[in-house]
Every structure is written in C-alpha cells, then in structure tokens.
Amino acid sequence: METALDIMRQPRLKILETLEIFSLEQLNKIPEGFNNNIIWNLGHLIAAQQGVCYKRAGLDTWVEDSFFQAYKPDSRPNSSVDEKGLALIKIYLTTSLDQLKTDYDNQIFANYPTWTTRYGVTIDSIDKAIAFLPFHEGLHIGYIMAMRKLV
C-alpha cells in the first residue's frame, strides 16, 4: 500500500513543480478538443481517490462535498478556479495521501465491496483500490502534460 502511495506522491509533486510557470488563466483554459482543463484534472486526482477509496467503501469523503462534486468523474469545469481554489488543490494533492494512509492504518475500509472500473478492472478490497489509483492518475497526468503544450 505504501508503495502505491509513493508512486502517486512523486508524480503529483513533480506535476505541481512543472506547472509553477503557468498562469491561473492558462491552468483554467480548456484547450480545443478537450472537455476540461489542467486545474480540473488536478482536482480530479483527489476526487477520484476519494470516490474509489471512501465512497465505494460507503464512507464519507474527507474533502468537502462541493469539492468532490466539482471534480468527480463525468463532471466538467463550470467556472474558473481562483488562487484560493488552486491553493486548496495543491494542499489536497499531498494531504489526501497522508489521510488515506492514516485511515488505512486505522482499518476503516474493512467492508470494501466488489466493483468493476470502466477499464474492466475488478476491485474487491481497499488494497486493490489503492493499487488501481496510480494507473488512473497516470492517465490524467498524461492529459495534463498534453494540455500544457496547448495553453
């Protein structure tokens, strides 16, 4: 489990470092051919983690519901994110992994149900859910890397 969290943490930190040179306007821009923007993809990393680990286990997310709703799967950016919103995403990108480890260690995911992802992966435990997350995050970091060349 800790390996998967480390595999997520390092790319999250690296992508934040890569994006430091971009303006808020660039991060909010939806490039032609895309349905979302860089900021949405960053927020989605957090919302997807919350959904896969907490919601699927029948637990409440520890991020605000409004945050989860704004970045959950199949959502779209409905307004520009301001500096405060971006700062929150940056904080959540690291603290969400720390909280997941704490909650995992406290065994709050004991009743994790079986479900199948849209990619055909069957997940039947929190360990498999956590193992799936780096794949999902890699997809969205790939979108971010493509978008940064278009904004």
Q: CA 144, CA 30: separation in Å to the nearest integer?
A: 11
* Gyration radius of the chain over CA positions: 15
Query: Residue 139: pLDDT band by 50, 70, 90 thresholds?
Result: very high
Q: What is the mean pLDDT of the chain?
A: 95
Looking at residue 116, the DSSP 8-state letter turns out to be E
Domains of the chain: 2-148 (1.20.120)
Q: If DSSP codes are grouped into helix, strand and coil, which group holds residue 115?
A: strand
What are the percentages of helix, strand and coil residues in the chain, rounded to 5? 60, 5, 35
Tokens of 101: 């480890």
* pLDDT tens digit sequence for 32-69: 999 999 999 999 999 999 999 999 999 999 999 999 99
Check if the beta carbon of residue 70 is closer than 8 Å to that of residue 42: no
Q: Where are the alpha helices (DSSP H) in 55-122?
A: 65-71, 83-105
Q: CA 129, CA 134: separation in Å to the nearest integer?
A: 10
Q: Is the pLDDT of residue 77 over 80?
A: yes
* pLDDT tens digit sequence for 101-115: 999 999 999 999 999
State the DSSP H helix or E strand holding residue 143, giving kind and residue range, or none if neither. Answer: helix 126-148
The pLDDT, as a whole number, for residue 150 is 94
Closest by CA position to 144, among listed 37, 7, 49: 37
State the DSSP H helix or E strand holding residue 39, giving kind and residue range, or none if neither. Answer: helix 38-50
